[in-house]
């Protein structure tokens, strides 16, 4: 159970999802709604170019069917 003082400070309500992780010698917690959004996280990454190429190849394959 998360102490009420911490829930209030973090804005955690009953039923909210939270994330826990170890940091050195203590445990950290935060509401999952405070996660960094994925949008733009991989901009400029070669993975983006690879995914775009795969999608284009899939489209070309579908057109031939």
Predicted confidence (pLDDT) per residue in 24-59, tens digit: 999 998 888 656 667 777 778 888 889 999 999 999
Q: Which helix (H) or strand (E) covers residue 21, if one does?
A: strand 18-23
Q: What pLDDT score was predicted for residue 35?
A: 61
Residue 16: how many other CB atoms lie within 10 Å: 13
Q: What angle do CA 59, 39, 9 make, to 5 degrees?
A: 150
pLDDT for residue 36: 67
Cα distances (angstroms) measured from residue 54 to each of 27, 46, 65: 40, 12, 17
pLDDT > 90? residue 10: no
Q: How many domains does the chain have?
A: 1
Range of the domain at 16: 4-64
Cβ 18 vs Cβ 1: under 8 Å: no
């Amino acid at each position: 159970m998360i102490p009420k003082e911490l829930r209030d400070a973090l804005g955690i309500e009953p039923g909210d999802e939270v994330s826990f992780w170890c940091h050195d010698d203590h445990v950290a917690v935060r509401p999952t709604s405070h996660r960094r959004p994925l949008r733009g996280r991989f901009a400029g990454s070669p993975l983006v170019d690879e995914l775009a190429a795969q999608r284009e190849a899939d489209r070309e394959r579908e057109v031939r069917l």
